[in-house]
């Protein structure tokens, strides 16, 4: 018998750390589990419980749809709890319903901008200059002796914050409320504190650091106080008693404030903590705060406060030391074995009162010492001053994070024990939805590196890197990596939130998205200020379209359509042509390995060829989007523009044979994959020429951001699969496996971020955790593993692996909106065996290497053919 599980509202997994329900009428999706073969849904029924009311049972709907079903009930109300249960019936017998699913419980956030808790700040708080100390806020409050049914906190801050109630931390997350375009919108969180309260006397405390709100952001010196300087907290406590009575406690004039033991907390520089300035019991009702300062109520500058509808930043993992050693300069170094993103946790350390230890972080070693040059101006350093507790002290930073594998510890007191330190890995909670494994160990490590880089950089926003003085939401990186990201993790709601900021800032800027979102570039002088470029701002078109393809949810296209067309209309075009006007330098194939270390603009491929190829791509996407949204005039208009762009591209860059003006891997890969050629003969020429270029380079990579996602795919499309395999298996620099072969545990920004000599690339811009070039994983999933989407939302998909080289085994999986898809093949004794899993209510189109085809529904299937 089948059963319904995995109920979602608006693509959001339900749960206390996975985000709030943020709309009045969310769409509903569900997964159907069972062992039945060729099972398709024929009908469904939904029932919803609003608060303590009885279930409202809605009419049976005859439909095979289990994704993004319209909300059947009344509008949701702020702060209420709902429970949803669903049952389904097969297409073969629409009266034979499953059991009702276990209720999925959802907490509704505060909607319609009806936030009622004032923002409180320290009276006279000065602007932070060199340091950013934390500010503590507290108050006592009384409750009645009646039994508490539920107690909830809705909270947000200007800055980053943590809450304590009666001496215990609230929640398991970090760096709330994250980073949004604060001028436009601020996110709020929710915590259940029912078990933390007591009858009568209680206390609440909040620590607030500068974070992204007022702390240092950017590169080349960056800027502080971009959004404001007065850090503030806003809290609403809602208590409901068993007898039906309620109590509400808000942040107001009854609170007091003081500076805390965190003397400096900055995202780039790290944290300075003095345990001697702690206030023991400061969040307990017995604490005396007579000497603390009064607060003032300030206005929140954000236009709206919205529920956070995606996973909170939480601890993902904890890394223990794999090696501890002394450098040639007698420095103590801890190697955690994995380049990761998070902060240290010092356990049971003992030292005299006033003794200070320093921990500095870096991703790599150079000449046996900590390699800090790539950090640029970021100090990436934590300091802890002991209070002299004879029982030992524990410390972990609260308001910073580091991108690092190595930690240098200076001035440790006594003998260092490996149990004294661990590295807490953090990131926004999102379910793993994709994986890969094959018979080649280095390819497996490459795929792991892609996952680690994505996980590390998906923190509050999709960052470019997590370690240096940058950590920004570069649009170009996510534009090319988005399909890979959506295969590997359930990041729909995370990226949907980021796209809201892109759209809001774009509208305020007059039509052009920024190159980084949230946009802080305007706050300081830089080459990037006001920059417009293909690929980067094309994210406004590519990312929502890829979210639609992966989910099947048209809502993202409806929401972002204005943003898509605004960007296309804004692009400066040559008069009479649908091509980019050459009004300023394009970024082109950024970080082509042939470019000089200090000038990534000097790529082999004509930057305007790249820009015009991507212009055709986004015009095609926009036309398709308009068609999906039934905007017929728009669909025809953008289809005509795309056709003209294709013609103009051919006039400018393509000869009759198919030869391009830029005879490069990137140029041919883009023209082939985007469909820019006019006929099959040209495609054949381009494929052969690309193959020749790849062979001439001894299968080494010569693409940057633009070409990397497409070069192996272009070879595959044109029948050069063995060349594609030889490229991905190449170990010499530049190649995908060169970093792996020298011990990389994440994806690098440059193909040679670490030179074969063991020295760090001399360029100023060098990161060892930069996910963009990991977009090759998409080819690994689709071509090696054989799993490729056919219809948006994965209701129909292809299973057609293409074995190559000496790979004898390959497996990939993807947890689609309807359930788990698995593709597993092996070659043994000249026999190809293919095992696949198809979820219920889905169809797979299988093609074996010998050309045999099958179309199958749900179930576990096995196929064989000659290898």
pLDDT tens digits, residue range 362-388? 999 999 999 999 999 999 999 999 999
pLDDT over 90 (residue 559): yes
Choose one of 428, 456, 484: the last residue of a domain.
428
Catalytic residues: 470, 749
| Domain membership flag for residue 836 | yes
Q: Do both 288 and 328 map to the same domain?
A: no
Judge if 458 and 542 occupy the same domain: yes
| In the predicted structure, residue 17 carries a pLDDT above the cut 80 | no
* Same domain for 688 and 818: no
CATH number at residue 418: 2.60.120.260
User: Which CATH number is 831's domain given?
Assistant: 2.60.420.10
C-alpha to C-alpha distance for 13 and 21, rounded to whole angstroms: 10
Does residue 436 belong to any structural domain of this protein? no
Say yes or no to pLDDT of 583 above 90: no
DSSP string, 828-842: ETTEEEEEEEE-TT-
489 and 609 co-located in one domain = yes
**What is the rounded distance in angstroms from the CA atom of residue 489 to the CA atom of residue 431?**
6
Same-domain check for residues 153 and 177: yes
Question: Would 789 be classed as within a structural domain?
Answer: no
Find out whether 835 and 824 touch, Cβ atoms under 8 Å.
yes
Judge if 73 and 133 occupy the same domain.
no
Give tens-digit pLDDT for 790-849: 999 999 999 999 999 999 999 999 999 999 999 999 999 999 999 999 999 999 999 999
Q: Which domain-ending residue is among 732, 754, 784? A: 784
Q: What is the pLDDT of residues 226-279, one digit of tens each?
A: 999 999 999 999 999 999 999 999 999 999 999 999 999 999 999 999 999 999
- Whether 440 is covered by a domain: the verdict is no
398/466 same-domain check: no
CA-closest candidate to residue 199, choices 143, 246, 264: 143
Cβ(487)–Cβ(784) under 8 Å? no
Those residues with Cβ within 8 angstroms of residue 159's Cβ, 6 or more apart along the chain or in another chain:
208, 209, 210, 211, 213, 214, 231, 232, 233
Q: Output the domain CATH number for residue 36.
A: 2.60.40.10
- Please write the tens of the pLDDT for every residue from 622-639: 999 999 999 999 999 999
In a domain, 442, yes or no: no
Claim to verify: residue 523 and residue 629 sit in the same structural domain = yes
Note whether 653 and 612 are within 8 A (CB).
Answer: yes
If pLDDT is split at 50, 70 and 90, which confidence band does 110 have?
very high
pLDDT at 199 over 90: yes
Residue 770 shares a structural domain with residue 818: no
pLDDT above 70 coverage of the chain, percent: 100
User: Is residue 585 scored above 90 in pLDDT?
Assistant: no
Residues 329 and 265 in one domain: no
Last residue of a domain, one of 784, 805, 823: 784
For residue 96, the tally of other CB atoms under 10 A from its CB is 13
pLDDT given for residue 700 in this prediction? 97
Residue 441 belongs to a domain: no
- Total of domains in the chain: 5
What is the residue-wise DSSP string for 39-78?
A: --EEEEEEEEEETTSPPEEPPPB--S--SSBPP-SPPP-T
Please give the structure tokens belonging to residue 721.
């699969």
In a domain, residue 680? The reply is: yes
Q: Could you tell me the pLDDT band of residue 597, with boundaries at 50, 70 and 90? A: confident
Write out pLDDT tens, residues 428-469.
Answer: 999 999 999 999 999 999 999 999 999 999 999 999 999 999
CATH code, domain carrying 649: 1.50.10.10
**CB under 8 Å to 314, separation ≥6 — which residues?**
17, 172, 173, 174, 426, 427, 428, 429
* 14 band by pLDDT with thresholds 50, 70 and 90: confident
Q: Residue holding tokens 């002290």?
A: 393
- For residue 293, give the H/E element and its range: strand 293-298
| Structural domain contains residue 438 | no
Say whether both 148 and 91 belong to one domain.
no
Q: Are residues 165 and 181 in the same domain?
A: yes
The overall average pLDDT reported for the chain is 96
Domain of 51 in residue numbering reads as 3-107
């Amino acid at each position: 018998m089948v059963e319904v599980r995995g109920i979602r509202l608006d693509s959001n997994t339900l749960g206390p750390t996975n985000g709030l329900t943020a709309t009045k009428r969310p769409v509903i999706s569900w997964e159907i589990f069972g062992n039945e073969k060729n099972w398709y849904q024929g009908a469904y029924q939904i029932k919803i419980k609003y608060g303590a009311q009885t279930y409202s049972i809605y009419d049976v709907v005859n439909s095979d749809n289990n994704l993004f079903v319209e909300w059947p009930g009344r509008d949701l109300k702020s702060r209420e709890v709902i429970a949803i249960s669903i049952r389904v019936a097969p297409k073969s017998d629409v009266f034979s319903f499953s059991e009702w699913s276990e209720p999925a419980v959802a907490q509704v956030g505060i909607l319609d901008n009806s936030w009622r808790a004032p923002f409180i700040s320290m009276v006279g708080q000065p602007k932070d200059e060199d340091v950013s100390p934390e500010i503590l806020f507290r108050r006592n409050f009384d409750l009645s002796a009646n039994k508490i049914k539920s107690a909830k906190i809705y909270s947000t801050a200007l800055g980053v914050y943590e809450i304590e109630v009666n001496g215990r931390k609230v929640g398991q997350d970090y760096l709330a409320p994250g980073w949004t375009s604060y001028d436009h919108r601020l996110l709020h969180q929710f915590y259940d504190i029912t078990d933390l309260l007591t009858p009568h006397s209680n206390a609440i405390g909040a620590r607030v650091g500068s974070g992204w709100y007022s702390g240092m952001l950017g590169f080349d010196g960056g800027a502080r106080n971009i959004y404001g300087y007065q850090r503030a907290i806003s809290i609403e406590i809602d208590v409901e008693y068993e007898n039906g009575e309620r109590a509400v406690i808000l942040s107001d004039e009854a609170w007091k404030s003081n500076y805390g033991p965190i003397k400096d907390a900055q995202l780039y520089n790290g944290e300075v903590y003095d345990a001697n300035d702690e206030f023991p019991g400061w969040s307990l009702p017995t604490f005396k705060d007579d000497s603390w300062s009064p607060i003032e109520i300030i206005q929140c500058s954000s236009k709206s406060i919205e529920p956070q509808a995606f996973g909170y930043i939480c601890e993902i993992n904890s890394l223990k030391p794999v090696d501890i050693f002394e450098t040639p300069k007698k420095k103590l170094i801890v190697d955690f074995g994995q380049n990761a993103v998070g902060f240290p946790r010092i356990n049971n350390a003992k030292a005299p009162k006033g003794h200070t230890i320093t921990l500095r972080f870096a991703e790599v070693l150079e000449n046996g010492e900590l390699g800090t040059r790539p950090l640029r101006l970021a100090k990436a350093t934590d300091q802890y001053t002991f209070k002299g507790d004879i029982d030992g002290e524990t410390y972990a930073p609260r308001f910073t994070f580091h991108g690092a594998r190595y930690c240098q510890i200076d001035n440790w007191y006594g003998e260092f024990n490996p149990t004294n330190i661990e590295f807490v890995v953090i990131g926004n909670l999102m379910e793993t939805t994709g994986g890969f494994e094959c018979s080649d160990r280095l390819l497996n490590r490459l795929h792991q590196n892609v996952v680690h880089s994505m996980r590390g950089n998906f923190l509050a926003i999709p960052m470019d890197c997590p370690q240096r003085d940058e950590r920004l939401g570069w649009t170009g990186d996510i534009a090319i990596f988005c399909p890979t990201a959506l295969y590997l993790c359930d990041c729909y709601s995370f990226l949907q939130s980021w796209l809201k900021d892109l759209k809001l800032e774009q509208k305020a800027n007059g039509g052009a998205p920024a190159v980084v979102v949230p946009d802080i570039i305007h706050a300081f002088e830089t080459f990037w200020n006001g920059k417009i470029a293909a690929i980067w701002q094309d994210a406004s078109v590519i990312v929502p379209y890829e979210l639609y393809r992966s989910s099947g949810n048209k809502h993202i296209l409806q929401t972002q359509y204005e943003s898509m067309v605004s960007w296309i209309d804004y692009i400066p075009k040559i008069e009479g042509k649908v091509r980019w006007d050459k009004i300023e330098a394009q970024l082109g194939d950024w970080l082509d390995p042939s470019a000089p270390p200090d000038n990534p603009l000097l790529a082999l491929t004509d930057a305007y060829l790249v820009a015009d190829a991507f212009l055709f791509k986004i015009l095609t996407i926009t036309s398709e989007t308009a068609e999906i949204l039934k905007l017929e005039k728009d669909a025809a208009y953008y289809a005509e523009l795309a056709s003209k762009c294709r013609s103009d591209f051919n006039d400018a860059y393509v000869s009759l044979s198919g030869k391009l003006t830029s005879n490069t891997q990137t140029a041919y890969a883009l023209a082939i994959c985007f469909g820019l050629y006019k006929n099959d003969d040209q495609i054949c020429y381009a494929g052969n020429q690309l193959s020749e270029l790849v062979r001439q380079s001894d299968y080494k990579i010569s693409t940057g951001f633009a070409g990397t996602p497409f070069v192996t795919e272009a070879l595959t499309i044109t029948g050069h699969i063995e060349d594609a395999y030889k490229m991905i298996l190449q170990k010499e620099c530049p190649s995908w496996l060169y970093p792996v072969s020298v011990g990389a545990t994440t994806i690098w920004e440059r193909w040679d971020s670490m030179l074969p000599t063991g020295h760090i690339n001399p360029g100023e811009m060098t990161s060892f955790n930069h996910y963009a070039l990991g977009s090759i994983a998409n080819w690994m999933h689709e071509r090696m593993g054989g799993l490729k989407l056919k219809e948006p939302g994965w209701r129909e998909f292809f299973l057609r692996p293409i074995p190559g080289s000496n790979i004898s085994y390959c497996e990939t999986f993807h947890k689609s909106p309807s359930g788990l898809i698995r593709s597993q093949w092996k070659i043994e004794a000249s026999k190809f065996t293919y095992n696949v899993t198809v979820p219920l209510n889905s169809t797979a189109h299988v093609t074996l290497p010998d050309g045999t085809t099958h179309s199958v529904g749900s179930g576990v299937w096995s196929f064989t053919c000659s290898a």
